[in-house]
Chains A and B, each alone.
Chain A
Amino acid sequence: MNNLKHLLLDKLNGTSLLKHLINNYKYYRKYGILNTIIYFLKGTFRRYCPSLKLSKGEQIKRLLSKCNININKEGFIYSIDSYKVLNNKNRILDNFTIDYSIILDNSLEDLINKVKLIDNIDYRNNVLNVLEGINVILDNEINKLRDSKRLDKDKYLGYLNNIKNGKCKSFEEALQRILFFNQLLWQTNHMLNGLGRLDLLLDKYYEKDKDNYTEDEIINIIKDFLLKLHDNYWYKSNSLLGDTGQIIILGGTLEDNTYFSNDLTYYFIRCIKDLQIPDPKILLRVNKDVPNRLMELSLSCIKTGVGCPLLANDEVIINNLIKFGYDKKDAYNYVTSACWEPLILGDSLDQNNVDSIVYIKPFNKLLDEYDLDKIDNIEKLLSVYKTYLEDYLKDFLIKNSFKWEEDPLISLFITSCNKRGIDISNGGAKYNNYGFTSVSLPNLVNSILNIETLVFKEHKYTLKELNNARLNNFKDESILKDIKNVKERFGQDNDHIIDITNNIVNTVGDYLNDKRNIFNGKYKFGLSAPSYISLSYNVLASLCGRHNYEPFDVHISINKYSNGYTELFSFASSLNYSNNSFNGNVIDFIVSKTFIEKNFDKFNLFLKLSIDKGFFETQMNVINSDILLRAKKNPQEFPNLIVRVWGFSAYFNDLPDEYKDVIIKRTLEYEGKLS
């Protein structure tokens, strides 16, 4: 059955039929079967997909021209027609943040005139077609708005019209322009679209306009902006509801090493805190000079359980970006991909979520194939694992070499593509690196520690005996009990555990170091991943005590034997992020709202001092098990309960049971209610 499913998916991959089916599934995921039938029927005469025989630019032009426009009852204009899709032969670039300054500093006419100067005819025509399509959909929006009964339409007509011929003039107009171009990305099947450093981007417009607004008015404008982005989240959601990748980056270190924040930094956080929506989400870049007031506001937002802001430590990230090869200016201006992977804004193809390394797979292969009697100490085990891991990585890189779908829309925003007349999918950007995430590192390290204790130190079992237990899915409970009683664990800041972890990290980093992708771009990886459940489905038990197909451990997190958050942060700060290993490394932990409330100042101090300690990134799930268990049993009582899933937050009720169960289990463990 599974094979048939894969065959079918392979056949349909990239086709409009699959796209429409996925949209119907997404709608069903949020609104249930009856509403989905209505949605499906409504689409009978509205579904459209331009022919693949046309050039990409022409496809986009036709698609945009045919979009039905929906004018909101009030506020910003933002419309996505989910019945219009594009076919694709190859994988579409995603996980992007386009440089919105380009559409704030340029009118559509400016862009057209610039593109007309590009030498490469095919490229030029492709992009010009896209710009024509943008013109048409803009005109359609303007006309629909003009015909509407909205009392405030003149203001927004002004903003939309100005996109055609003028540069952005005001704060509110800037937000409208961002929304307009953002909707185009979603409309053309680009997923996981970030928003960039909005406080920095909007700074000059806000400074010019702020005296024209009261604080409440600014807040309402921003709330409207956020709500519009959130509006279509059923459609925008990727693997799970809420996983839209709509990430807003705030704060951050400037090139002169001062810390940037402005009123907007605070306003955006306040708005998310007030609105209590899981999407869009915020990432706050911090350094040791981050204002205490800003940290306090962030913590007060986190405390509500909304799951953000995630904190990203510039003290660690920027130098690693520079070491990897990014220009200093670009490194300081980093944003992130959908979850947390540092990403260069603007002139970059960088795909940070190409695939996930599954550390436990080559380890299980080692246990299956190697003569285990020949492994009599931990050094030998690590040395043999290294060869298996490198073999795995070799196949992994081959598997992850593919063509990208031509993309004149994104190329429009890429300076080097326009200079060189080369589409981004063909390596036209300045940076063309690939990033991987990874899962099961905690499971691997714990497996190694268990072997070390039970086999090499205590001589309680042979490695073969442990492996047999694993192959029997730990039916022998006494062996499982012994495994669970081993107190050395991933996440403890004991030199030995750190060394083992860094040994593995360095194996990957060293292996990737001289490898290049088809564009001569480099590879980077990170220790966190979204796929702790989805990639565990076909993985047998592991010597950490995990049963067949059970989810992997989550990111860098607390375990039963952890000794406080300081230990966890100390561990994470000791890991090596400089060996190509900076593609997202998140400390993810659970904390109760009561704890934060009772210890607010000290907890805030702890987070601030941890910046100096050197964590990479951190996020918190502020929940308690009672509420989660009740919400699972009676979801209707908790319609607005939000939890952090991986790099995004979601309504608890929207999650499949297996994700709910992982969050519940982790929370019970944190509360000491699970052995």
Chain B
Amino acid sequence: MIRVTNIQRFCLNDGPGIRTTIFLKGCPLRCPWCSNPENISYDIERYQLEDGEAGIYGKDYTVNELLDIILKDELYYQKDNGGVTFSGGEAMFQIKELVPLLKILHDKKINICFESSLSVPISNIKTCLPYIDELYIDVKVLDKNIAKESINLNTDIYYSNVEYIYKSGKPFIYRIPLNNEYTFSLNNQKLIVELIKKYPPLKVEIFRIHNLGDKKYYSLNREPKVFTKVKDEDIKKFMDIVKNYSKIELIEI
């Protein structure tokens, strides 16, 4: 069974073409800016919204159940490399359960993208990489100590996973959420630029973090964290530096 919080059809920003994005439950990281808090814990959780609407985050699907839903939009995947994106949470967390589904999609020539923080053992990556057409690699905090303390990321594992993917030749894009407090500190910017130089991607996508997930925090009886707004001129400075090594785009979420 594959534990999922959401299946979003008609996604236009999670890869090429028109896509269905599967949001998987469970993540080893604890990013303070996470806009999908319902995906952090693997456990099925009850929620209650302010307007009284109640429900459950997380549902277990069989491979066939997920496949049925995915194939409803099969026609739309046929052009411009449309397909399925696995996100989360950490998309590679449930890789064993996902493989049968990936095999079927791969055989059907449906484009597969993964969005991942790479905070998983390399064996997970080795298992799913043959099926993946394109990867979105989250770039967050890269200083070893700060990463462990602030978001529970082991940067040794992270860097070795990036290297493995880079050497495999699989196309990948870096996705960087911007906040002054963590990812966009001056030191972290330097580390990001070094990462890009060492393992150049297809392109870099950066985006301002947002508070669209606040409702979900409240539904889980938690307080969302508040972050200061990243200045336009700082973003421009950063983009000017990165442009020397890679295509870079500021995307709006």
> Do A609 and B12 have beta carbons less than 8 Å apart?
no
- Cα separation A606 to B13 with both chains bound (whole Å): 14
A599 in contact (CB, < 8 A): yes
Residues of A within 8 A of B18 (CB): 566, 602, 605-606, 609
Distance to closest chain B CB from A225 (angstroms): 37
A570 in contact (CB, < 8 A): yes
Residues of A within 8 A of B17 (CB): 602, 605
> Do B8 and A564 have beta carbons less than 8 Å apart?
yes
A481 in contact (CB, < 8 A): yes
> Do A566 and B9 have beta carbons less than 8 Å apart?
yes
> Do B53 and A613 have beta carbons less than 8 Å apart?
no
Chain A, residues 463-489, CB within 8 Å of chain B (1/0): the string is: 000000000000000000100110000
Residues of A within 8 A of B73 (CB): 566, 570
- Cα separation A493 to B11 with both chains bound (whole Å): 17
Distance to closest chain B CB from A169 (angstroms): 46
Question: How many A-B contacts are there with CB distance less than 8 Å?
Answer: 51
> Do B8 and A570 have beta carbons less than 8 Å apart?
no
> Do A612 and B75 have beta carbons less than 8 Å apart?
yes
> Do A609 and B52 have beta carbons less than 8 Å apart?
no
Chain B, Cβ-Cβ closest to A568: B10
A456 in contact (CB, < 8 A): no
Stretch at the interface among B76-84, B102-110, B135-143, B193-201: B76-84
Query: Within B52-102, which residues are at the interface with A (CB < 8 Å)?
Result: 52-54, 72-73, 75-76, 78-80
Residues of B within 8 A of A481 (CB): 52
Residues of A within 8 A of B52 (CB): 481
Residues of B within 8 A of A612 (CB): 75
Query: Within B36-64, which residues are at the interface with A (CB < 8 Å)?
Result: 49, 51-54
Residues of A within 8 A of B79 (CB): 605, 609
- Cα separation A675 to B7 with both chains bound (whole Å): 20
- Cα separation A261 to B8 with both chains bound (whole Å): 36
Q: Choose from B11, B13, B80, B252 the contact partner of A605 (Cβ within 8 Å).
A: B80
Distance to closest chain B CB from A452 (angstroms): 18
- The residue in B51, B54, B73 that gathers the most chain A C-beta atoms within 10 A of its C-beta is B73
Q: Choose from B9, B12, B53 the contact partner of A563 (Cβ within 8 Å).
A: B9
> Do A606 and B10 have beta carbons less than 8 Å apart?
yes
Query: Within A580-606, which residues are at the interface with B (CB < 8 Å)?
Result: 598-599, 602-603, 605-606
- Cα separation A484 to B53 with both chains bound (whole Å): 9
- Cα separation A566 to B78 with both chains bound (whole Å): 14
Q: Choose from A493, A599, A606 the contact partner of B76 (Cβ within 8 Å).
A: A606
Range for the number of chain B residues in contact with chain A: 20 to 34
Distance to closest chain A CB from B26 (angstroms): 22
Distance to closest chain A CB from B56 (angstroms): 11
Residues of B within 8 A of A598 (CB): 252
- Cα separation A260 to B72 with both chains bound (whole Å): 31
From DSSP, what is the main secondary structure of chain B's interface residues? Answer: loop
Chain A, residues 408-451, CB within 8 Å of chain B (1/0): the string is: 00000000000000000000000000000000000000000000
Q: Choose from B7, B10, B51, B72 the contact partner of A565 (Cβ within 8 Å).
A: B10
Query: Within B7-25, which residues are at the interface with A (CB < 8 Å)?
Result: 7-13, 17-18
> Do B8 and A563 have beta carbons less than 8 Å apart?
yes
Query: Within A550-590, which residues are at the interface with B (CB < 8 Å)?
Result: 563-567, 570
Chain A, residues 604-631, CB within 8 Å of chain B (1/0): the string is: 0110010011000000000000000000
Chain B, residues 135-170, CB within 8 Å of chain A (1/0): the string is: 000000000000000000000000000000000000
Residues of B within 8 A of A567 (CB): 9-10, 72
Query: Within A661-675, which residues are at the interface with B (CB < 8 Å)?
Result: 675
Residues of A within 8 A of B75 (CB): 609, 612-613
Residues of A within 8 A of B53 (CB): 484-485, 675
> Do A485 and B72 have beta carbons less than 8 Å apart?
no
> Do A566 and B8 have beta carbons less than 8 Å apart?
no
Q: Choose from B9, B49, B78, B80 the contact partner of A602 (Cβ within 8 Å).
A: B80
Residues of B within 8 A of A570 (CB): 72-73
Chain A, Cβ-Cβ closest to B6: A563
Residues of A within 8 A of B54 (CB): 485
Known contacts being A566-B18, A567-B9, A605-B80, is A675 close to B51, with CB within 8 Å?
yes
Residues of B within 8 A of A605 (CB): 17-18, 79-80
- Cα separation A586 to B245 with both chains bound (whole Å): 49
Chain A, Cβ-Cβ closest to B11: A564
- Cα separation A79 to B8 with both chains bound (whole Å): 54
Known contacts being A598-B252, A602-B18, is A563 close to B76, with CB within 8 Å?
no
Distance to closest chain A CB from B46 (angstroms): 14
- Cα separation A613 to B75 with both chains bound (whole Å): 7
Distance to closest chain A CB from B76 (angstroms): 5
Query: Within B109-150, which residues are at the interface with A (CB < 8 Å)?
Result: none
Distance to closest chain A CB from B126 (angstroms): 32
- Cα separation A565 to B7 with both chains bound (whole Å): 14
Residues of A within 8 A of B9 (CB): 563-564, 566-567
Distance to closest chain B CB from A669 (angstroms): 13
> Do A602 and B72 have beta carbons less than 8 Å apart?
no
Distance to closest chain A CB from B250 (angstroms): 12
A-B contact pairs, 21 of them (CB 8 A): A484-B53, A563-B9, A564-B8, A565-B10, A566-B10, A566-B18, A566-B72, A566-B73, A570-B72, A598-B252, A599-B12, A602-B17, A602-B18, A602-B80, A603-B12, A605-B17, A609-B78, A612-B75, A613-B75, A613-B76, A675-B53
> Lowest 5 A-B CB distances belong to which pairs?
A564-B10, A564-B9, A675-B51, A566-B10, A599-B12
Chain A residues within CB distance 8 Å of chain B: 481, 484-485, 493, 563-567, 570, 598-599, 602-603, 605-606, 609, 612-613, 675
Known: A566-B73, A567-B9. 15 other contacts (CB 8 A): A484-B53, A563-B10, A564-B10, A566-B9, A566-B10, A566-B72, A570-B73, A602-B80, A605-B18, A606-B10, A606-B18, A609-B18, A609-B78, A609-B79, A613-B75
Chain B residues within CB distance 8 Å of chain A: 7-13, 17-18, 49, 51-54, 72-73, 75-76, 78-80, 252
